[in-house]
Amino acid sequence: MTTTQHLRRPFGRLAYTVDGPTDGPLVVLVPGMGDLRSTWAPVLPELHAHGYRTAALDLRGHGETDPVDPEGHGVEGIAGDALALAEHLGATPQRPAVLVGSSVGAGGVARAAADRPDLVAGVALLAYAANDGAAPGAVRAQVHVLLRRPWGPRAWAWFYSTLVKAPVDVRSHLDALRRDLARPGHLEQLRTLALRLLEGHEDTRLADVTVPVLAITGSADPESKDPAATLRGVAQTAPHVTPVLLDGVGHYPQHEAPAAVAEHLVALVDRVAGGVDRRA
């Protein structure tokens, strides 16, 4: 198992793992709310087989990344952390990184590409969430109740499982989520982030992204009333979007259709970052 490393950030330590050939194109992977960097494990072998260097991080207050004050949560912070990690690992305007995000992590990498296009060659948005509209008060009240101890860790794992629609076994990942949220302060950090996102004041700056964008959405994603329409909206927002709708897949394509996700990621990296298939 790859050893956890930490990058010092203004709020504390950002946890990440890095693997793959040291001279390969850099791919930074950002999980979604209430998730861990291990969510990317199903797609890593194929990325490494193609010669890519991958760096997967934990969000603030998740996994082994330090907690933050409420104002430190949100898309802007996620974008800053992804960019800081990419730069720390050698991303430059001459050799920019590819950023991949899931759910709110997708919003974060979109914001990163808009903020620093010189460091980003392309982005992949899985189950993109803009979080730019306020949720009803009843939803926020439910989150207050759902993410409380002692039932909160199990409740979140149950909710996560309801967003998985393809016939895949994610039990070991759900166990990891429960264990993480059982740690002191972690459930509270998740609740703070969830309530922040439900306020709907996030700005992913997707319309300002000028680098190539790969947008992957599951046709059965419960987080959208009409996933196909949501994907069309993403494709119409930024100038260079390749939309991909995965049939029968829910909110976590990296778990539910890892082979398809890896195939599309490889195509993106090879297109924008000079990827080389080293299996030959």
Cα distances (angstroms) measured from residue 45 to each of 24, 42, 74, 98, 133: 14, 7, 30, 17, 37
Q: Which domain covers residue 154, as residue numbers?
A: 5-272
pLDDT of amino acid 2: 81
Answer yes or no: is 250 within a domain.
Answer: yes
Answer yes or no: is 106 within a domain.
Answer: yes
How many structural domains is the chain composed of? 1
Retrieve residue 262's tokens.
């890896």
pLDDT of amino acid 3: 93
Taking Cα atoms as reference points, which of 53, 39, 239, 201 lies closest to residue 126? 39
Answer yes or no: is 103 within a domain.
Answer: yes
pLDDT of amino acid 276: 42
pLDDT of amino acid 279: 33
Answer yes or no: is 188 within a domain.
Answer: yes
For the chain, residues with pLDDT lower than 50 are: 275-280
Which residues is 19 bridged to in the sheet? Answer: 54
Name the region of 74 (left: φ>0; alpha: ψ -120 to 50; beta: rest): left
pLDDT of amino acid 273: 86
Q: What is the pTM of this model?
A: 0.96
Answer yes or no: is 279 within a domain.
Answer: no
* CATH number of the domain bearing residue 73: 3.40.50.1820
Answer yes or no: is 277 within a domain.
Answer: no
Residue with tokens 């989150």: 143
Answer yes or no: is 153 within a domain.
Answer: yes
Answer yes or no: is 60 within a domain.
Answer: yes
- Cβ count near 207 (within 10 Å): 11
